[in-house]
Chain A
Amino acid sequence: MAPNLHLAHVSDVLLTWTVFCYAFAMLGYAAEFAATRRSMARRDASGLFARYLSGVRLGRAAVALTVIGFGFHIASVTTRGLAVHRVPWGNMYEFSCMVTLVAVAIYLALLMSQPLKRIAATALRRPNAHLISWRSRESVRYLGAFMMAPVVLYLGLAGTVLYAAPGPLVPALDSYWIKIHVVAAITATGAFMVSGVVTALYLLKERWERGLPPLRLALRRRVQAPLRPQRVSVGPGTAAVAEMNARSGLMQSLPSAASLDRLAYRIITFAFPVWTFAIIAGAIWAEQAWSRYWGWDPKETWSFITWLGYAAYLHARATAGWRGRKAAMLSLIAFACLMVDYYVVNTVITGLHSYAGIS
């Protein structure tokens, strides 16, 4: 069936709106972040509250924009699917749109989960509502700006360089496995993207907590001895917290390194089995389509390398001396491998997975 070009155009327009919403949301998050930081730094009671309030308003507006953008995003991929009469993940452009959709969905889910639990606890008037203080209640919203930046970049790249005209699937992709293998790959990639952002923030915050300057001065500082002995990220002690509060900086308003590390780990423990499943489902599909379940095709190999990278991260996290920074670096390397798997393998290295659809 010929693609419905009118509907495809509607999908393209919706995607443009999506990108605009996300971009402005990113600015909103960044503004909130900056406002909160300044109010924390100044510490004058009158100004603090006003600035804090304006920051919160900006943050809430950013969340609203994210939700509206998310709505456009869903509408865009849905209309694309209706226009081409198939699942809307048949080439790189469509795949990128889906990955970012998953990433934003995960971010929104993280944003929702904390307040929801608190509301549920108070609504039920549970006698143990006080126990909720056991939980670190750091706002996920501070991640917003850092989360939206790669999403906007990814979508921008998808809409310009990777854009593919609407059309049917090539016979090799025309199988129900596209719904299983590719959905798993999309979900895992979206989740790894979120964990990548959180891990990068963890590394920055961890440096800050150790009293080191951020990456910019990393090279110059390396020759000097660290200000304090290295600490494994189990969370700072009371004295250290007081010391940190005395310092100010962009990093201060970020959640603690320990909780960022935990969040990244939680997301990876979700994404890693999904990624494993994607590889296995891909192997089953390959067995049907290409007569072998594994052939060391570049895509297969890089997916395997990515898998090894995250496996190394999970092992490192359980090994003394590798916990914390080193493990986080491994996780970022694994994410870099995933990006090679996606961008470089699809466009530069020729293999059986050449479905980029870029002309």
Chain B
Amino acid sequence: MSDTVLDDDRTTALSTQPDAPVRAPVRTPLAALRQLWRQLTSMRTALLLLALLALAAIPGTVIPQRGLDPVKVNSFLAAHPHLGPLMDKLSLFDVFAAPWFAAIYLLLALSLVGCLVPRIRLHARALRRRPPNAPRNLTRLTASTQWDSDEPAADVAARVHQVLRGMHWRADVREEPDGVVTVAAEKGYLRETGNLVFHVALLLLLVGIALSGLYGYKGTVLVGPGQGFANARLDYDVFEPSRLFSNSQLSPFSFSLQNFTATYQSNGEPTAFNAYVSYKSSPSAVARPFDIRVNHPLNVKGAKIFLVGHGYSLLLKVTNRKGQVEYDGQTPFLPDNSQFASHGVVKIPSLGGKDGQLGLTGEFYPTAVPTTAGLVSTYPGLDNPMLSLAAWRGNLGLNSGVPQSDYSLPVGGLKNIGVKDLTKGESWKLPDGATVTFEGIDQWATFQVAHEPGKRTVLAAAVLIIAGLLGSLRVRRRRFWIRAVPAAAGDPAGRTVVTAAGLARSDVGGFVDELDDLMAQIGPSRAGDAGTERD
């Protein structure tokens, strides 16, 4: 009996480490390795690594992180010229990509594999094996009861066996040489199955994360009203490929922004953003409409398109002194604050003739209110839109070969030729004859396109994690035995003495109630049973 219980301890305890580790002196390198492996796969190490992983994650929430807020990291580095670079060397600004962080979770994964392999083997064996024999002295178990019965021992056992099978117990009837008949039953194998599924799913999760990290890509693009985007690397404003990314992974979808709307509460808090787009999943496909919102991304084959930002786009027209149109188009203005005071520029390489280059810098206020410090915007919606323009002459540096931002104009070497506030529809005649017209207001949107090939694996792993956890934590592994001892031979008044006992291998409550139910079906209430029950 003690053998079976010990054996069972090994299958249900969480560690595969032997109960009493043999402390033999380490002789060979192989033995030393084995010892190390045993240490690594022990529960104590797993506990330590779990705690270490939790501790290691804390700096990532306290110290600014590049992945979350690169601006903050730079200002921290500027503020701490000595400490900053040292912390950077220790990857403290990229904690979750740090080698030491990876070392901890990879060790944990390794420890997990080392623990899982033997346990899966043990469990597979346990699933095939029959329930262990009834212990000789059942009354020594905490939950046991005993009664007398007129039924022969074999009948009692057969009846109990039937009831147990009906309740989905794995049960065996065994006859011992002295005529004693026992029933051994076990239930709740799902606990260990769930436990193993949960831990395997954790490894699967890591695989999914690795897949996305190796083959995925991510990019953002600003799309103006009426403008389109085709999924090619050069069309992105920012593109972040993964390590093993190749351009062939870009699926050939395209979309154009038809209209963007934003609505706000009276206090300026946003209530809804809608980007109405028309998209094609491939160049030959039919264009379909879609409404991309926050929490409502567009799924195309191979990627997901999210709405991540928005701003005003002004329709500006510039004509030269002869009335020829030099610029006519949507000019995106980038928001500077939550009330959407925004800035933007227009660069015109030539106004024709000897007039040279013209630069316009503008500040846009959707709801302009004059203050002593100039115009400010007091509401993100278009209540009183006002464009404040400044015009600049000189060499804009467009041919210098240095890449330039579309949203800023370094005005260092330029000459200011005028400043003017415009409302929608107004024109401004510059001193040198050119005319700027503020024709209309639209909105642009920025989209993030993300392709994560491991996402389905991660989701599948997540589902298995939950299922496994429920099995492993909410199912009880329990055993039940009956020992029916027949009356002594030649004793006509003798009766069968039945002892029943239950043993929960894990202490989730409710086993006692289950035993109650079980006893109600097989217990001493049957006809011919005497009431000599004992707890």
Q: Within 8 Å of chain B (Cβ to Cβ): is A214?
A: no
Contact B519 A312 (CB under 8 A): no
In the bound complex, residues from chain B placing their C-beta under 8 Å from that of A319 are 14-15, 43-44, 47
Tell me the residues in window 136-174 of chain A with beta carbons closer than 8 Å to chain B beta carbons. 167-168, 170-172, 174
Q: Within 8 Å of chain A (Cβ to Cβ): is B126?
A: no
Tell me the residues in window 349-383 of chain B with beta carbons closer than 8 Å to chain A beta carbons. none
Binds A, one of B230-238, B385-393, B469-477: B469-477
Contact of A127 among B62, B65, B270, B520 (CB under 8 A): B520
Tell me the residues in window 257-304 of chain A with beta carbons closer than 8 Å to chain B beta carbons. 262-263, 265-266, 269-270, 272-273, 276-277, 280, 283-285, 287-293, 295-298, 301-302, 304
Contact B273 A171 (CB under 8 A): yes
Chain B 273-306 against A: per-residue CB contact (8 Å), 1 yes, 0 no?
1000000000000000000011111000000101
Contact A117 B513 (CB under 8 A): yes
A200 to chain B, nearest CB (A): 20
Bound-state CA distance A304–B50 (Å) is: 11
Contact B520 A177 (CB under 8 A): no
* A308 touching B50 in the complex, CB below 8 Å, given contacts A131-B519, A319-B15: yes
Bound-state CA distance A190–B99 (Å) is: 36
Bound-state CA distance A305–B52 (Å) is: 10
* A265 touching B308 in the complex, CB below 8 Å, given contacts A127-B520, A292-B450: no
Bound-state CA distance A126–B455 (Å) is: 54
Contact of B466 among A273, A283, A305 (CB under 8 A): A273
Contact A288 B295 (CB under 8 A): yes
Contact of A296 among B50, B67, B295 (CB under 8 A): B67
Contact B507 A312 (CB under 8 A): no
Q: Within 8 Å of chain A (Cβ to Cβ): is B54?
A: yes
Q: Within 8 Å of chain A (Cβ to Cβ): is B336?
A: no
Nearest-neighbor residue (CB-CB) of A169 within chain B: B271
A249 to chain B, nearest CB (A): 27
In the bound complex, residues from chain B placing their C-beta under 8 Å from that of A290 are 306
Q: Within 8 Å of chain A (Cβ to Cβ): is B155?
A: no
A39 to chain B, nearest CB (A): 28
Chain B interface category by residue count = 35 or more
Contact of A132 among B51, B270, B293, B516 (CB under 8 A): B516
In the bound complex, residues from chain B placing their C-beta under 8 Å from that of A262 are 507, 509
* A269 touching B508 in the complex, CB below 8 Å, given contacts A126-B520, A287-B455: yes
Contact A134 B473 (CB under 8 A): no
Q: Which of B47, B58, B470, B507 has the most CB of A within 10 A?
A: B47
Contact B473 A315 (CB under 8 A): no
Tell me the residues in window 467-489 of chain B with beta carbons closer than 8 Å to chain A beta carbons. 469-470, 473-474
Chain A 165-199 against B: per-residue CB contact (8 Å), 1 yes, 0 no?
00110111011010000000000000000000000
Q: Within 8 Å of chain A (Cβ to Cβ): is B102?
A: no
Bound-state CA distance A349–B67 (Å) is: 16
In the bound complex, residues from chain B placing their C-beta under 8 Å from that of A272 are 469, 473
Contact B535 A131 (CB under 8 A): yes
Chain B 499-527 against A: per-residue CB contact (8 Å), 1 yes, 0 no?
00000000111001101100110011100
Contact of B525 among A127, A296, A308 (CB under 8 A): A127
Bound-state CA distance A135–B513 (Å) is: 9
B439 to chain A, nearest CB (A): 30
* A295 touching B67 in the complex, CB below 8 Å, given contacts A284-B459, A319-B43: yes
In the bound complex, residues from chain A placing their C-beta under 8 Å from that of B450 are 291-292
Bound-state CA distance A301–B524 (Å) is: 56
Nearest-neighbor residue (CB-CB) of B518 within chain A: A128
Nearest-neighbor residue (CB-CB) of B474 within chain A: A269
Tell me the residues in window 298-354 of chain A with beta carbons closer than 8 Å to chain B beta carbons. 298, 301-302, 304-305, 308-309, 311-312, 314-316, 318-319, 321-322, 337, 345, 349, 351
Contact of B61 among A121, A270, A292, A349 (CB under 8 A): A349
Chain B 40-80 against A: per-residue CB contact (8 Å), 1 yes, 0 no?
00011011001101100110111001011000000000000
Contact B61 A302 (CB under 8 A): yes
Contact A276 B58 (CB under 8 A): no
Contact B509 A318 (CB under 8 A): no
Contact B43 A318 (CB under 8 A): yes
Contact A128 B516 (CB under 8 A): yes
Q: Within 8 Å of chain B (Cβ to Cβ): is A43?
A: no
Q: Within 8 Å of chain B (Cβ to Cβ): is A46?
A: no
Contact A131 B515 (CB under 8 A): yes
In the bound complex, residues from chain B placing their C-beta under 8 Å from that of A315 are 14, 43, 46-47, 50
Nearest-neighbor residue (CB-CB) of B272 within chain A: A171
Tell me the residues in window 251-273 of chain B with beta carbons closer than 8 Å to chain A beta carbons. 265, 269-273
Contact of A276 among B308, B465, B508, B513 (CB under 8 A): B465
* A293 touching B458 in the complex, CB below 8 Å, given contacts A272-B469, A315-B14, A318-B43: yes
Contact of A128 among B465, B473, B523 (CB under 8 A): B523
Q: Within 8 Å of chain B (Cβ to Cβ): is A230?
A: no
Contact B294 A277 (CB under 8 A): no
* A175 touching B295 in the complex, CB below 8 Å, given contacts A284-B459, A308-B53, A318-B14: yes
Contact B509 A126 (CB under 8 A): no
Contact of B47 among A121, A270, A287, A312 (CB under 8 A): A312
B491 to chain A, nearest CB (A): 27
Q: Within 8 Å of chain B (Cβ to Cβ): is A133?
A: yes
Contact B68 A168 (CB under 8 A): no
B96 to chain A, nearest CB (A): 5
Q: Within 8 Å of chain A (Cβ to Cβ): is B124?
A: no
In the bound complex, residues from chain A placing their C-beta under 8 Å from that of B513 are 117
Contact B523 A269 (CB under 8 A): no
Contact A134 B143 (CB under 8 A): yes
In the bound complex, residues from chain A placing their C-beta under 8 Å from that of B465 are 276, 280
Q: Which of B61, B62, B465, B516 has the most CB of A within 10 A?
A: B61
Contact A291 B448 (CB under 8 A): yes
Contact of A288 among B47, B57, B297 (CB under 8 A): B297
Bound-state CA distance A172–B533 (Å) is: 64
Contact B516 A168 (CB under 8 A): no
Contact B469 A273 (CB under 8 A): yes
Bound-state CA distance A272–B51 (Å) is: 17
Which 8 pairs across A and B sit closest by C-beta, in order of nearness? Answer: A127-B525, A175-B295, A291-B306, A269-B473, A318-B14, A308-B54, A298-B61, A128-B519
Can you name 11 A-B pairs with beta carbons within 8 Å?
A127-B524, A128-B523, A133-B535, A171-B293, A272-B469, A277-B466, A283-B462, A291-B448, A296-B96, A298-B61, A311-B50
Q: A131-B535, A171-B272 are in contact. List 13 more A-B contacts (CB 8 A).
A: A127-B520, A130-B533, A177-B295, A270-B474, A273-B466, A276-B465, A276-B469, A283-B462, A292-B450, A312-B54, A319-B15, A319-B43, A337-B54
